[in-house]
Amino acid sequence: MPIPSDRFCLWNPPPYAALGAPYGDRSPFHLRSGVLERLEQSADWLDRTRSGWRIAIFDAYRPIAVQQFMVDYTFGELARAAGLDPAALLAHPDHPQTQILQGRVTQFWAAPSHDPATPPPHSTGAALDVTLVDLLGEVVDMGSPIDECSERSFPDYFNQATDTGDRLFGERRQLLRQAMAVGEFAQHPNEWWHFSWGDQLWAERTGQSIAHYGGL
């Protein structure tokens, strides 16, 4: 089902489509109907807790072709940031530097698997990347941008911070987590922005024996 733009802030333009990811005629702003119902519960709680604040949807449904595009794109960006040639690294998959960068990618990006037993979370229509928008309509600073491949992306990274600004980042992440917990979403262990309900990651994180949703 489409995520209603009058209820949630939808990232405009869709971030991966803007990079050239091959969505075709599909929109990233879709979720399973049961997942969307739970997201509405989270939004209601947030509005009661912080009047006027809203959940912003960075990305939701993602075809496997888009997952592959972003895995490749992220590897390329990390390689270039290190002053390396991505094509040269990929030509030598056993090279230590190639494996290090691929390890960083897979820490944050699921494999674009076509195996029905191991669908990427976003391809199930049950996972979404979110952040917060305040009363003025401004995206809230959470201490690191969505998709940053570093330890700063870990949900609890700022929990023990002593700096006032860093503590605020931790409090905002906790607020987002509390809001999503109202809908019984599970959070990715490495990404403050990623939540899901009913997919394999959700099942693993919540101790369920089976996922509700497979790939779309």
Q: Could you give the residue numbers annotated as active site?
A: 191
For residues 148 and 154, give the distance between their C-alpha atoms in angstroms, rounded to a whole number.
10
Strands 186-187 and 194-196: antiparallel
For residues 22 and 24, give the distance between their C-alpha atoms in angstroms, rounded to a whole number.
5
| Phi and psi at residue 129, to the nearest 5° | -110, 125
Sequence-separated (6 or more) residues with CB below 8 Å from residue 150: 144
Number of CB atoms found within 10 A of residue 127's CB:
31
Please name the helix (run of DSSP H) or strand (run of DSSP E) that holds residue 105, with its range, or none: helix 96-108
Query: Hey, which bits of 127-216 come out as E strands?
Result: 127-133, 186-187, 194-196
Strands 54-59 and 9-10: parallel
